[in-house]
Chains A and B, each alone.
Chain A
Amino acid sequence: MNQGDDHGHDHGENPGGNHRMSHGGNHRENHGEDHRESRRVNHRMDRGGNVRVNQGTEHVNRMDAIRGGSRPVDHNARSIAALAANPACDRRAVLDAAGIDKDRTVAHLGYASRFGQSPFAITRTQEFKSIVKAHGGAHVLRLLREVLGLAVEEAGYHDAADVGGDSGHGVRHRHTAAVLNAAAQDPADAATLIDHPLLKLGVAGYDVYLEPDVIAFQAARRFHVVAIKSFAIIDGQADTGKVSAAAREAAVYVHAMRDLFARLGLDPERVSHDVVLICPKDFTNFPTACLLDVRLQLEALRRQLERLTRIDTILDRLPPDLSLDLCLDGDTPTRPVSELTAAVSAIPARYAPECLAACEMAYFCREEARACGSLEAIGRSVRDDLGGVDSVRTAIELIGGASPPPEEHAAIAERLRFVRRIFDEVVA
């Protein structure tokens, strides 16, 4: 499938937008404060699940300085999954950590962001979500009974976003924690649906809040993450790419919820690795559900989050006066493009074609990677086939064989020259 189109649809399913619209106006204004609050105290999980607290005011100030006057942009499960998919990319790590609006930045740099979403896809997603959640989540309960084999007749419904109008992320997260804790400790063990839980996650040494895009369900002392997606399951099968994207995102929520449980002193294993995926059935709007085992995605996420360089280590390597400020005049960026280009280029990136489907900056990074002849820009498989060689120019030199290859490239040089010989033989 055409990558560009893929985005449109993926984004269509991202309901983040509509949640923001419904209760966004208020906490938006609190963003700045919230971020500072979240970064002042940095929780970082040890291997043992203990929480380490760092004071990181200095790099919080640095992040704010890098972002300049613009409002910070939130993380969501998709962006964490994307970051975890390319843990070696400092550029993405810094931009995300500083809450830079990548869409706007890349547009100002002169590259179209191909992450637009079709209004039809948005409408469709909203319609489907409201069908699923109608009548106090009646469909959700029916489906949960079916896929989890429970004999639950009814379940309490809490909207974790419902904490009074003017509350910021910190307040809402504490509320989520309280609701989840109450459900977990409930002596009657009543089934509970908790909508819009606001979870947070330690990423590269700082905390981020996740868009509340799932439902948490508790019954028989087990918690399940319930994700609603608008792609169809037809005859029991759905688009592989979309299902795996959904699994990667759901894994982020499971991970964050387990993290929260550990902090609350609850057993993290009470959050199941079986995620409930709710989708339209066949060609209808009627919801159907299936269980998605996300153990693999959880393990990958955990490993990748560990591999992420701590953001302060990356910051130490960057120019001290680095600024990605768009210098917004109202809604218009006034920062000279050449200046911004230089600033973004100062943060090393790790471009691979997979980025095109995951990162707003991809077309900028691709241009840069192509200009310096990166082999990875043609595809990871090409780079792997030519193991050890990283630029097109080196590969061409090795193929040409004018001078003896350096020691580390001796093996691949021999194979490349062999390929050239048989190719010439055939073409001649």
Chain B
Amino acid sequence: MSLLRSFLAVRAVRDGRAQPAATVRHAHLSAEPLVFVPLRMAGESAAPLAAMVGASRSDARLLVVENPRNRDQRFAFMAELAEIIVPYIQKYAAQMETVEGRSAYERCLDAPQILVPNPGGLAFTRLIGRSTRFRATEGPHAVAPLVPLLGRWLTFLHERSEFAGSAILLAVTDLLAEHWVTGLSGAEAGNLAAQLAWIDPPGGLTGPQAALLAEDPLRSPPAGPDTDPGFDTHVLKPLLDGPPVPARLREALRGQLEPTWELMWRAVELLRAVPDAGGVAARWERDRTMLARQHAWIAEGGLPPGRWDSAVAAARRLAALEGAQQSYEAGKAFDDPLVMAEHRAEGAAFAGLVTDVDADRKIIPPGGKRAVARPLVTVRTADPVRFPPGRKLLSPARPKQGTVLVSATDGVVVLQVNSGMTKDATLPAPGETVCYTDLDPAGVRRPSLPDAAETPWTHGGPPAEYVPTDEDAQEAWS
């Protein structure tokens, strides 16, 4: 945690209530998100037990596997799930626009958004995708046609969700923890009910009191994917061991899922009340573009992603993930003074008052011949400034204006403006409060990686193309 977040945690304990850690919401929130609460059979890696899924609070669909150990029933569950999730995604994927520009590209008009309760839900979603995307729709162990498609879409959503700033598949506990600081430790904050109890305690209770109640598995069953061991012992096992009573099994599982379902929609309400951050739309556009690409790839008959990334693909993906992380962090700070304050507390930004502006200064840059405009801005600040001379800095007020730190002594910082002085641009004016940071929402440019065909021997040479095998398609499930 950062110092500011620790400070807020202390305040949360003092006040018995969560403290906002953002003034705006940094993730896009769909008008019609699909809430997905999956449960898994204890002790199994990817055997679904039940799920509650739907795109509105009043439209909860309950799916139950009556015998989780029976593979046919598992695939029947997957087929039923596919019939809900695939059409929901395809509805968005089918509507595209062409974005004109230097090179025109396709983008979906909107994108699906799936919300799961916690990081465990994300991991389970990935496993559902992994276990279904290679299945064959004919031959031995054939599955319903939508099942492999469900696998491909869930795989896509999960891969996308690893990019910071993507909002196509989100864990609600992560989202809440990003926007509020509670008195719960990191380990405890994975409990959706406890986190909501701190953020929005029911009448008459403090956050910690409500959280204590919320931790009781009898009051708030775990938000999955793992079930409460007590429920397994006293309710589920007798039901599964005895003669089949599908109606009672469904009701028991509904009882485990419904409280989480309600909490998920309450969290959506709380998050909706926070206004969108400035960068949300651009990040959502990226999700929409990636959705259009994936849709085209599937439509062209492209293969599902293999079980393993090649060395090249892994290196590219890692670089892209890091880039996304950096620009997301910076973008958040530029959009939200409270997030910027976090960076100020760590010495990665400073704010102060402009005392002097030398707008007409002209110098001959090193290696140049003609004098060019390089205005100087002097800022008085009470923040500790930890940047060395020469560090490139940006200001959220003028993100296109590149500056470089000339000197910083005794709270007086001199900056030289190097770029972004077009006709309409303004320089900071004396008396204006400004903030400068070395974060850059555009991210850091990295040297490009060699072409796949020129992969060096250090990375195993050019990778062989992945071709799915029958073995993949008929992978045993036991």
Contact = CB atoms under 8 A, between A and B. Distances in A.
Q: Do A and B come from one complex?
A: yes
Interface string A400-428: 00000000000000011011111101110
Contacts of B420: none
A8 B344 contact: no
A323 interface: no
Closest 7 CB pairs of A and B: A124-B43, A5-B226, A353-B185, A121-B43, A118-B42, A232-B45, A379-B185
Contacts of A1: 118-120, 123, 190, 226
Nearest to A128: B43
Contact of A379 (B131, B186, B475): B186
Nearest to B216: A112
Contacts of B382: 421
Interface stretch (A42-50, A179-187, A200-208, A279-287): A279-287
Contact of A118 (B184, B217, B232, B477): B232
B229 A423 contact: no
Chain B contact-residue range equals 35 or more
Given A9-B226, A118-B227, A283 B13 contact: no
Nearest to A124: B43
A108 interface: no
Nearest to B127: A234
B13 A392 contact: yes
B285 to A, nearest CB: 28
A217 interface: no
A230 interface: yes
Contacts of A239: 123
Interface in B41-64: 41-46
B14 interface: yes
Nearest to B337: A426
A422 B347 CA distance: 12
Interface string B319-363: 000000000000000000110110011000001000000000000
A119 B41 CA distance: 11
B290 to A, nearest CB: 23
B3 A419 contact: yes
Contacts of A9: 42-43, 226
19 contacts: A1-B119, A2-B118, A2-B223, A8-B227, A118-B43, A120-B44, A120-B237, A121-B43, A121-B229, A231-B45, A235-B308, A283-B475, A283-B476, A357-B187, A378-B184, A379-B185, A382-B9, A425-B351, A426-B23
B10 A4 contact: no
Contacts, number: 182
B358 to A, nearest CB: 27
Interface string A282-301: 11111000000000000000
B7 A2 contact: no
Contacts of A4: 191, 215, 217, 222, 228
A426 B341 contact: yes
B232 A120 contact: yes
Contacts of B478: 283-285
B454 interface: no
Interface of B: 1-4, 6-11, 13-14, 23, 41-46, 118-120, 123, 127, 130-131, 183-188, 190-191, 208, 215-217, 222-230, 232-233, 236-237, 307-308, 337-338, 340-341, 344-345, 351, 382-384, 475-478
A119 B7 contact: no
Contact of A117 (B215, B229, B384): B229
A297 B45 CA distance: 26
Contact of A399 (B1, B7, B308): B7
Given A8-B232, A125-B43, 9 more contacts: A1-B118, A2-B120, A9-B42, A112-B216, A116-B233, A239-B123, A353-B185, A423-B4, A427-B338
B348 to A, nearest CB: 13
A283 B223 CA distance: 23
B187 A353 contact: yes
A7 B226 CA distance: 10
A139 interface: no
A314 interface: no
Nearest to A396: B14
Interface residues of A, number: 65
A80 B208 CA distance: 32
A396 B118 CA distance: 31
B338 to A, nearest CB: 5
A315 interface: no
Given A9-B42, A284-B478, A385-B2, A3 B191 contact: yes
B307 A235 contact: yes
Nearest to B476: A284
Contacts of A415: 3, 345
B190 A2 contact: yes
A25 B151 CA distance: 48
A392 B208 CA distance: 15
A381 B5 CA distance: 10
Contacts of B191: 2-4
Contacts of B223: 2
Contacts of A427: 338
Interface string A169-202: 0000000000000000000000000000000000
A8 B476 contact: no
Contacts of B46: 232, 234, 283
A368 to B, nearest CB: 14
A215 interface: no
Interface in A97-124: 112, 114, 116-124
Nearest to A121: B43
Nearest to B12: A378
A173 B190 CA distance: 42
Contacts of A119: 232-233, 237
Contacts of B232: 8, 118-120
Interface centre among A4, A236, A239, A285 (most CB of B within 10 A): A4
A114 B476 CA distance: 34
Given A3-B187, A4-B215, A235-B308, A121 B45 contact: no
Interface centre among B123, B228, B340, B477 (most CB of A within 10 A): B228
Contact of A283 (B2, B45, B217, B351): B45
A374 B125 CA distance: 37
A77 interface: no
B188 A381 contact: no
B1 A422 contact: no
Contact of B14 (A353, A392, A421): A392
Nearest to A11: B229
A160 interface: no
Given A2-B222, A119-B232, A120-B232, A12 B475 contact: no
B42 A8 contact: yes
A350 to B, nearest CB: 15
Contacts of A353: 185-188
B382 to A, nearest CB: 8
A426 B154 CA distance: 40
Interface in A1-60: 1-9, 11-12
B198 to A, nearest CB: 12
Interface centre among B2, B9, B119, B183 (most CB of A within 10 A): B9
A377 interface: yes
A260 interface: no
Interface string A258-289: 00000000000000000000001011111000
A283 B188 CA distance: 30
A370 interface: yes
B440 to A, nearest CB: 21
Contacts of B345: 415, 418-419, 422
B130 A235 contact: yes
Contacts of B236: 120
